[in-house]
Every structure is written in C-alpha cells, then in structure tokens.
Amino acid sequence: MEGTAGLVFFTVTVAAVATLLILPPGVAVAYALARWDGPGKGLVETVLALPMVLPPTAVGLVLLELLARNGPLGRVLDAWGVEVVFTPKAVVLASAVMAFPLLVRSARSGFEEVDPRLVAVARTLGDTRARAFFRVTLPLAWRGVLVGALLAFSRALGEFGATVLVAGNIPGRTQTLSLAIFHRTQLGEDAEALRLAGVATLLAFVAVYATEVVTRRRGRRGRA
C-alpha cells in the first residue's frame, strides 16, 4: 500500500511539474497563434499538433535519439554533467512534450475570444503592450489557459508510450502509475494491476471533472 502512495505521489508530481514547465512557453505560443496571421501559420500549427496524433512511442523514440549521450542534445547536456535519459527528468520531459499541444490548443481559443480592440483601448490609456497583456488579455483568457493546463495535466497523468522509451520503466525511479500497470500485467499480477488501474481512474476522474467545471463556467460567462 505504501508503494501505491509513493507511485501516486510520483505520478502526480511528474504531471504537475511537466504542466508548470510548459505553461510559460505554451501561453506564449498560444498567444502568438491567436494574434499572428503570417505565412506558414498552418505549417506551424501542424507541427505543434503532431505529438497529439503521432504514436507516443514515435515521439519517445525521437526524444531518446536527441537526448542519448551521443545524440545532438545529449552531447551538450552530457558536457554540463546533466543526464536525462532513464531518469525522472525524462519522465517529466516526455509528459511535457505530449501535453504541450493540448495546453496550446485550449489557451489559444481563450486568447482568440479576447477582442484585440480592448487591448488597443488599454494602450491609449497608457499601457505598454506587455502591461496590456497582463491587465487585459490574460485576465480575459485565463479560463482557456486554466482548462488547457488541466487538460495537459490529465494527459501527463496517463502518459505511457513516450515515457517508456525515453525513461524506461524503473520501479522507484521512473515508474509512474501507467507504467506500473503495464509492469504488473507483464508479471501476471492482474489483481494488483487492476487495483492500480482503479487508482488511476480516480485520479483521472478528479482532473477531468475539474476541467469540466471550469469549462462550464466559461460557457455561462460567455452567455452573460
């Protein structure tokens, strides 16, 4: 039972850290996509959406190739003494990459709902571009950002394919709930696997329900 608590704690922590990590770049990219309408926008959108539709194992493989000690990124990190592959850092990274498009998608629709003319008015009232973003745009789009963060967190909770490739499945080190379920079934411990699946269901329920609540409030406000 203590093992389960540790597993839950690790899983939730990884998902939370991954979500917080992608929040600043995710919000920036979402805002840029909502406001910028230059050439190649479709291409950028497609690339950003790829992790959502690619097999997670393919994403994991790419990350592994990049970050392995002789990979292009791994070499740089190795020089600094940073090791990512098969460590908890890799779990966070895999979850972050897989969750990123979900955050961007929802945050972007939040930003798109903000009338750019409100920002123009804020600027005539003395706000710089940056100040207007924090005083007008973000407060009006925060629900979209929050929904995106909750979706990203939910996605990170259940991440498997990318994680198993780049972080392995090391009990007590890189093993999350979803990896542990797989591990137990491989060992033939179906009852234990089922119990863990129940725990995972509970976690997912809370996360998704929170998202629903926030989304519904946004709808109500939209009608007002």
Binding site for other proteins (CB under 8 A): 115, 117-118, 120-128, 131, 135-136, 139-140, 224
Minimum CB distance to other proteins, residue 221 (Å): 9
Q: How far is the CB of 210 from other proteins (least distance, A)?
A: 22
Nearer to other proteins, 98 or 141 (CB): 141
Q: Which is nearer to other proteins, 123 or 195 (CB)?
A: 123
- 25 versus 116: smaller Cβ distance to other proteins: 116
Instruction: Tell the smallest beta-carbon distance from residue 139 to other proteins (Å).
Output: 5
Answer whether 91's CB lies under 8 Å from 163's CB: yes
CB atoms within 10 A of CB 94: 29
| Min separation Cβ 213 and other proteins, Å | 19
Q: Which residue from 202, 171, 212 is spatially nearest to 12, judged by alpha carbons?
A: 202
Question: What's 125's DSSP letter?
Answer: T
The Cα angle at residue 52 between residues 51 and 54, in degrees rounded to 5 = 60
Closest Cα partner for 14 from 142, 147, 178?
Answer: 178
Q: How far is CA 83 from CA 23, 55, 77, 145, 172, in A?
A: 23, 25, 7, 31, 17
